[in-house]
Amino acid sequence: MSRISVRGFAVASATAVTAVGSVVGVASGSVAQPNNDAEATAADTTLLADLPAGEQAQVQTASLTQQADAVAIQADASAKKDAEQAARVAAAKTAEAKKAEAEKAAKEAKERAQAKEAASRSSSSFPVQSSYTVAQIQAMAQQMVASGQYQCFSNIVDHESSWNYQAVNASSGAYGLFQALPGSKMSSVGADWQTNPATQIKWGLNYMNSRYGSPCEAWSFWQANHWY
């Protein structure tokens, strides 16, 4: 076996392409290419060939262990970097979800406030007439129902009475824009429930809000059941 210094072997092992290649080179008698600086200072160093076989194995094992430790440290650093990146991505997604929830809650709160304000308007705010056109009734509803809820509200009235505030169901007796049964229940908001569409609108809006939460929730129920 060629005479290789212990220090020279350590340097060669540290710069080998793979740990296995280092071991094979020593075992086959190939001379490792040491660092020039290392060779210059290793002349009086103990030679690998001069060591007992057991100590040679220890030197080789120590060199391979050092390489393995370096690889492990690099792997740990890479894993830590990946974990930090994953944590940042997860935090960003959580922040986006919370922002969306906050925006949704703010929108719903605004709609509830608008609905409360609209519902608080008295039907007496509108001049009493002997008769009303569909356009006039719809104009009343647009003033009393929150803008974000009006289309749902309108959909229900379209299906229930086609905006006829004097509509009567011949078989059940249901009455008015919302086909209240009995119609007299609308007297809870006004004695003129039979002739004043504004009174009926206020009653219908209160009914949808109290029973379903909003006209749009009432419309969702209507679509699923064809009644509300």
Domain boundaries of the chain, sorted by first residue: 6-73, 121-225
CATH of 121-225 given 1.10.20, 1.10.530, 3.40.50, 3.30.70:
1.10.530
Which residue, among 208, 89, 66, 101, has the nearest Cα to 146 in the 3D structure?
208
Question: Is pLDDT larger for residue 218 or for residue 55?
Answer: 218
Q: What mean pLDDT value characterizes the chain?
A: 79
Residue 98: what pLDDT? 84
| Residue 75: per-residue pLDDT | 87
The token pair that represents 190 in the structure block: 């006004």
